[in-house]
Amino acid sequence: MHDKPTHYGDVPADLPPIVSSLAVVSVVFALLSPALLCLCGVSLLTSLAAVITGHLALKRIREADGQLSGRGAAIVGLSIGYLMIVVTIVFLAALLPKLQTAYFNQRRDRVEARQADPRQPPRYRPSESPATIQATVLADVPVTRELVCEIPELGWTVHSLAFAPDGNLLAVGKLDRSLLIVDVHTAETRCKLEDLNQLSAVEKLAFSADGTTLYAAGSSGPVMHWSIDAEGQLSEPRQLFKHEQKVTCLVAGSPGAPVLSGSADGRLMWRMPGEEHVERLNGLPKKALAAFLPADSGPALATDGSTLLHFDLGTSRITATRQFPPGAHQAAAFSRDGSKLAVTAGYEVRVYDVNSGASLAAFKAGNEMQWTVAFHPDGRRLITGGRGFATLWDVESESAEWRFDLGGILYVQTLAISPDGTRLAAVPAAAGQTLSVLQIPAQP
């Protein structure tokens, strides 16, 4: 396609200028953009084409010494093209949260369909008949949003949160291989590490009991640690050991205790203090959802939601195994003293006695998937993450006490409770969301 005419001999003086074909193409692409806006943002491509061809048309018209026309058409194509680029970006930004919500709803519907179809073995099977668990009407639960601080526009999705033992600092691990240390009172970022390529996405975080060491585990398998001072500044990192698959749980104790982690293949790993040898245990059929380190010489614990292991850290031997109802479990958590285990599966939350395996509580969060769970330090309450809200439950009464408004409709998959039980940090599962630190109401 050549806009600039080739001269063969003398050109008649009265020959009218030729309309620039690039100007025409620019207008055509520009006019197509509004029609293609709803087609998954294809209008962004046609708008860019309108802008590029419009600029090329103006350049060649200037160089043609009056032998090309169409300057007005090129300007029209450029104007509409630039306008539609802005409109398309705004449209896609508004559409992304809705697409994520639709994905989660579709996943939930598939679970329900498998339950309803007797020809397929269900991936999620409640241990009791649904009729035995009274669904909580979440709309009737009082809502609170007593803010301590907010950290807006965090960019890439937050995958992990952990409070320091004194509750003043919050560690934030993200999908984009970055790690933040945030002051809970001022929302100031005290330290930021980027390009943590060894970790990839920062999946799990844990502080040592004395708050002098921060541990992080990544989607590529390593477990690393940093010394951290009172101002939140981190030292150079060191690697403890590495899993073959993504780390899915991480727990740390006192400086003299091992660090225990589990991965997506169900493997558990830890290293005893003062030893270079890394212990391994293959005991969970599915990915490890939660682990527990004993404060004394008792057994360590780990679960995938269906299987609970008691094992000795010194000998790497399983001392007891308990089986719970199978299913597609989203999350699990142990109470601070290790006596209780909470598991979420679909809309249900179940609490078990770790030693006897007896069911202590079972409640249903309406028709809302519960994607994460954490015990309150008092062991009598726990918090789960649902759609746009986190819910505080009383285990003994099997009732919801409060809902924490997190300002959106996306599912809450990442949360943490401060060691003193007064604050909740939580963030919806999507890019560009706001991390909220909220006050937890005292138990009456």
Average pLDDT score over residue span 161-180 = 95
Average pLDDT score over residue span 338-345 = 95
> Which pLDDT belongs to residue 157?
86
CB atoms within 10 A of CB 352: 23
Q: Given a cut of 90, is residue 111 above it in pLDDT?
A: no
HSE-CB of 328 using CA atoms within 13 angstroms = 16
Residue given tokens 């142990």 in the structure block = 334
> Which pLDDT belongs to residue 107?
55
Q: Which residue has the higher pLDDT, 441 or 39?
A: 441
Model confidence at 115, pLDDT cuts 50, 70, 90, reads very low
> Which pLDDT belongs to residue 323?
93
CB atoms within 10 A of CB 385: 29
Residue type, 108: R
Average pLDDT score over residue span 155-163 = 91
Residue type, 251: V
Q: Which residue has the higher pLDDT, 375 or 81?
A: 375
Q: Which residue has the higher pLDDT, 139 or 13?
A: 139
Contacts 24+ apart (CB under 8 A), 122-127: 122/327, 123/327, 123/328, 124/327, 124/328, 124/345, 124/346, 125/325, 125/326, 125/327, 126/325, 126/327, 126/345, 126/346, 126/348, 127/324, 127/325, 127/350, 127/359, 127/362
Determine the Cα–Cα distance for residues 175 and 408; give it in Å rounded to an integer. Answer: 20
Model confidence at 385, pLDDT cuts 50, 70, 90, reads very high
> Which pLDDT belongs to residue 95?
73
Determine the Cα–Cα distance for residues 388 and 385; give it in Å rounded to an integer. Answer: 8
Tens digits of residue pLDDT in 26-54: 889 888 888 887 776 688 888 899 899 98
**Are residues 259 and 251 in contact, defined by beta-carbon separation less than 8 angstroms?**
yes
> Which pLDDT belongs to residue 284?
94
Determine the Cα–Cα distance for residues 198 and 271; give it in Å rounded to an integer. Answer: 19
Q: Given a cut of 90, is residue 233 above it in pLDDT?
A: yes
Determine the Cα–Cα distance for residues 214 and 237; give it in Å rounded to an integer. Answer: 10
Determine the Cα–Cα distance for residues 112 and 123; give it in Å rounded to an integer. Answer: 10
> Which pLDDT belongs to residue 121?
39
Determine the Cα–Cα distance for residues 191 and 173; give it in Å rounded to an integer. Answer: 12
Q: Are strands 372-375 and 238-242 parallel, antiparallel or unpaired?
A: unpaired
> Which pLDDT belongs to residue 205?
96
Encode burial over 180-196: b for 16+ CB neighbours within 10 A, e otherwise: bbbebeeeeebbebeeb
Q: Given a cut of 80, is residue 106 above it in pLDDT?
A: no
Counts for the chain of helices (H) and strands (E), in that order: 3, 31
> Which pLDDT belongs to residue 260?
95
Angle among Cα 10, 15, 21 to the nearest 5 degrees reads: 105
**Are residues 370 and 387 in contact, defined by beta-carbon separation less than 8 angstroms?**
no
> Which pLDDT belongs to residue 117?
45
* Best CA proximity match to 352, nearest among 325, 370, 372: 325
Mean pLDDT of the residues in the chain: 85
Poorest-confidence range of 22-31, 115-124, 245-254, 320-329? 115-124
> Which pLDDT belongs to residue 15?
64
**pTM: predicted TM-score of the whole model, two decimal places:** 0.71
Most confident of 4-13, 142-151, 161-170, 291-300: 161-170
Helix axes 43-63, 71-116, angle to 10 degrees: 170
> Which pLDDT belongs to residue 255?
73
Determine the Cα–Cα distance for residues 402 and 387; give it in Å rounded to an integer. Answer: 14
Average pLDDT score over residue span 134-148 = 85
Q: Given a cut of 90, is residue 301 above it in pLDDT?
A: yes
Determine the Cα–Cα distance for residues 297 and 299; give it in Å rounded to an integer. Answer: 7
Q: Which residue has the higher pLDDT, 99 or 32?
A: 32
- φ, ψ of residue 116 to 5 degrees: the values are -80, -20
> Which pLDDT belongs to residue 208?
93
**Are residues 170 and 417 in contact, defined by beta-carbon separation less than 8 angstroms?**
no
Q: Given a cut of 90, is residue 91 above it in pLDDT?
A: no
Range list of β-strands (E), 243-286: 247-252, 259-263, 267-271, 278-282
CB atoms within 10 A of CB 403: 20
**Are residues 319 and 312 in contact, defined by beta-carbon separation less than 8 angstroms?**
yes
All residues at 6 or more sequence positions from 230 whose CB lies less than 8 Å from its CB, including other chains: none
Model confidence at 109, pLDDT cuts 50, 70, 90, reads low
Quick one: tokens of 361?
């509580």
All residues at 6 or more sequence positions from 396 whose CB lies less than 8 Å from its CB, including other chains: 361, 380
Percent of the chain with pLDDT over 90: 56
Q: Given a cut of 70, is residue 118 above it in pLDDT?
A: no
Quick one: tokens of 79?
């104007």
All residues at 6 or more sequence positions from 37 whose CB lies less than 8 Å from its CB, including other chains: 43, 84, 87, 88, 91
Tens digits of residue pLDDT in 234-287: 999 999 999 999 999 999 987 778 899 999 999 999 987 667 889 999 989 999
